[in-house]
Structure formats: structure tokens, C-alpha cells
Amino acid sequence: MVFSSLFFLYAFLPASLIAYALCRTLQAKNISLLVFSLIFYAWGEPKYVLLLMGMALFDWFFALRIDASDKTAARKLWLALAVITDLGLIGFFKYSGMVCSLFGPPPAFVENLALPIGISFYTFQLLTYVVDVYRGEARAQRRYWHVLLYAALFHQCIAGPIVRYQSIAAELFEQRRTGEDLSEGVLRFTLGLTKKVLLANPCGALADQMLLTEATAGDAARLAENLRHLSGQSALGLWLGVLAFALQIYLDFSAYSDMAIGMGKMLGLHYKENFDHPYISRSATEFWRRWHISLGSFFRDYVYIPLGGSRRGTARTLLNLLIVWALTGLWHGASWNFVLWGLYWFVFAAAERLFLRRLAGRLPNFLRAVLSHAYLLFVALMGWVLFRFTDIKLAGTVIRGLFGANGNPLADFQSVVEGKSNMFLLAFCIVASTPVFRKLRLWWAEKASSDAGKSLYQAVVYGILPAAMLLVSTAGLVGNSYNPFLYFKF
């Protein structure tokens, strides 16, 4: 099940909210949350709910052993077992096909292995739990179902954000003030829903139109045909497609985080922000501080810093960065283009650290701001081309075609029509990718000083706006079969 579906909005969500509201105690509320979370997960993957429960069981047990052990060696042993189990399972389900393909055609059972939805998210969450217990930053949870609830919580189980155990444990199991942020939660949830349905989905449809659908592009049997199609696509068409894809992936991913954060707030659970308008960045490093923050902080805290971070010289720092970026790429999908995409970002992050930042510092402020931003956008857009196409030949064709190097026209009828037909959508999405709307809201909130002004602000922002967004999103979902879920491969 996905949040942006009518069944979720008008069956699952109301039922879960009613059940939650009817429960009096925190324990009863949590049991209700757990039951609905397991139903939510089992809706799309009935058999893999057992995998989720099993992994939570292992990590619950390993954390208890770590907590109970006084000796460092024993603690390390239990930690190692936990890490091997978690990474082994994710490796088996997610990467066995990729590894087998290095040695020839993968066996049938590997080819038929379905990727359990959300495995990359909940595995990392469970890892943070065990490691935090090992580090003494969190106490081991005595109750298995508490660990299961933490991993399976439907708000963030299948599309993030990756919530660290210690950041949520107190609200989840000790004290929760449900209702305090209800209106904020509702607003955030409906903003995310609208972002997904009214902005990300049309951008995705445009990207598919100009760059081939993911299914078509991923069909190896159609490679020659796909190459012919893409090499004939006009430069304007390709730019439109790449821009639309860049907007789709940000708006879609951040929309899921918005909805998760919003639903959490409705119940008194506060998850960390996962996106902070990454396209306004001026460097690759800054981009990744603003993009998928929970993943970046996971790799920082659980890989980069344990490897020594930047404290052991330039060469070691670069090696650590290389490892982190390769893992970041690999996390996004079991395909070599994702590894390449991760390494691509490493090159720019490393170049910035070594010399680009210094070079940029010599430029006048205005010029530096403009050029840095243009540089980041260019790097990000080219990066999305690598990300989108699992076949590197297709990505190369698109990148060449962007500059008219395929002998393709700069513009043609289709690209001009599509450009005109979507110009307001794209312009609105670009603005929505910046903090403009948030700043407008804050400005209004500050200006509304009188009681009447405050009431109007609250009625519009927390009352009318969420209801209207729910209705228009519903309209966007009825009868519209195009509602992609981008994270199945994560």
C-alpha cells in the first residue's frame, strides 16, 4: 500500500486513526499502531512480513545480548552477528542478482527473487538500534514487539525517513503528547500528498514521455530500439525530460517524507526532516546535506566517522568518502549505474574538498553565488541521467543528445508542444522546490498579529488549505493510473 492511494486515504488512514483514538493508554495505542503497520506492510507483501518480523526478532535478541554482556569481546561478537545477519539478508534479497550476474546468467531462483519492499529502510533502522545499544547510547528494548513496532511503523517503514532508534524511543514508548501538533501534522501530510499527486506525478509522466518509461528503458531486449528512440529525441525534449525527472524525484521523495512526518505529528511522533530544499544548494557537499538527510546522517554516523572521518589525513579522508559514496549509490538500487552515480557524486565532493571550494572563494560574491548554483544544478541534472538509466549506453546517448551531439535536432514539434503544455507546471514545481512557499507562510504568520488576523491565518492554513488539498489530490487519484512508487528498488 502506498500513501498516495485512495484505499489508503479513505480506508486505511481513517480506520487506523479511529482505532488509535479509541485506545486510552500508550500501550494500547502502540498495539493498535503495530497491528495497522503489519497490515499496511502485508498489503503488498504478505509473505515478506515474516522477514520483517524475523529481522526485528534477531536484532531484539542481539541487542539484549549486547546489553547483558559486560565484556567488550562478547559485545563485539553480538554486534558483529547482528550486522552480519542484517547485511546478509539485505545482501541476499537485494544484491544477489547483481553479484551473480558478474559470473554469468543468475540462477532462476535469484532472478525470481522479489525485493522486499522497504528492506533498505527498515534494515538500516534496525542497525541503528543495535549499534546505539552497543555504543551505550540507547538501552536494549525488553519487549520484542516494541522493536518490531519501531521497525514496522507504517509512517516510515517503506519510504523513510530512516528514523534512528534513540531519536524516537522516548516518544514511542514513554511519553507521547498526541494532539498537540495535530493541525501541523494534517497540514504537512496534505502538503506531501498534494506534492506527490499534483506535482510529482505529472512531472513523472512528462519525464516518461521524453525519456522512455522505466520499464521500457530497462528492457534489455529493446536496447537497440531504445537507443534509436533516444538518439532521435530533440535536445529540448531531452532537457525537458531530465528537468521533469529531477523535479519528480525530489518532489516525490520529499512528499513521502512530508506525509510520514505529518502522520507522525498527528500522533505526537516527531521524525527528523529528510529534505531541506536541496536544489538551492551551491555545492555537491551542500546538496547532500539537504538531500535524504536521514540516509546521509546514517552513513556519516555509522560508516564515515567510525572509519576515521576526516581526522586521518587527506588520503584516508578521500578513501572514507569513496567508501561512503559507493555505499550510498549501492543503497539506491542493485545495479551498477547506481554505484556509478554514487562515485560520480564522490568525484565532485572530493574535488570541492581539494580545490573547488578554494577556487570559488576567489570569485566575487554575486558571481560565486550564480556560478556555484549553476554548477550544482548541472551536476545534479547529469547525475539524474545516470540514476535513471540502468544501461549506461542509454545514459550516454541522453547526455550527448542534451547537447545535440547525436545529430538530433535542437527542438522539434513534440518538444515545443510539450514545453508549452507543461510550462506552468514546471515553473510551479521549480518554485515549490525552493523555500518560497514556506517563507510566505511564515511571513503571513508573523504579520497576523491581531486576534482576527491570527484566526484567519489558522482557518486558512490549518483548516481550508488541508481540506482543499485532500479533495484536489483525490481528484488527481481517481481514474489516474499513473501513480508510480519510486522506492520499490531501494
Q: What are the residue numbers of the active site?
A: 332
d(CA 170, CA 269): 10
d(CA 120, CA 126): 10
Q: Cβ 129 to other proteins, closest distance in Å?
A: 18
Q: Cβ 235 to other proteins, closest distance in Å?
A: 16
Which alpha helices (H) appear in 403-464, and where do they start and end?
Answer: 413-421, 423-432, 436-447, 451-458
The single-letter DSSP state of residue 114 is: P
d(CA 8, CA 43): 11
Nearer to other proteins, 177 or 393 (CB): 177
Nearer to other proteins, 363 or 471 (CB): 471
3-state secondary structure of 375: helix
Nearer to other proteins, 209 or 310 (CB): 209
Nearer to other proteins, 72 or 481 (CB): 481
* Residue partners of 486: CB distance under 8 A and separation at least 6: 249, 252, 253
Q: Report CA dihedral (320, 326, 331, 333) to the nearest 10 degrees.
A: 180
* Residue partners of 302: CB distance under 8 A and separation at least 6: 127, 128, 131
Q: Cβ 426 to other proteins, closest distance in Å?
A: 8
Q: Cβ 171 to other proteins, closest distance in Å?
A: 9
d(CA 237, CA 247): 15
* Residue partners of 370: CB distance under 8 A and separation at least 6: none
Alpha-carbon separation of residue 279 from 363, 373, 425, 474 (angstroms): 21, 8, 17, 28
Nearer to other proteins, 66 or 269 (CB): 269
Write the single-letter amino acid at 406.
N
Nearer to other proteins, 381 or 445 (CB): 445
Q: Cβ 82 to other proteins, closest distance in Å?
A: 26
Alpha-carbon separation of residue 169 from 25, 141, 338, 470 (angstroms): 17, 9, 33, 31
Q: Cβ 468 to other proteins, closest distance in Å?
A: 9
Nearer to other proteins, 67 or 276 (CB): 276
Q: What Rg value do the Cα atoms of the chain yield, rounded?
A: 23
Q: Cβ 375 to other proteins, closest distance in Å?
A: 22
* Cell numbers found for residue 6: 485512495
Q: Cβ 401 to other proteins, closest distance in Å?
A: 15
* Cell numbers found for residue 115: 525485493
Nearer to other proteins, 311 or 420 (CB): 420
The residue assigned the cell 536484532 is: 59
d(CA 377, CA 246): 10
Q: Is the peptide bond before 364 cis (omega within 30 degrees of 0)?
A: no
d(CA 162, CA 63): 19
Cα angle for residues 198, 202, 205 (degrees, 5° grid): 155
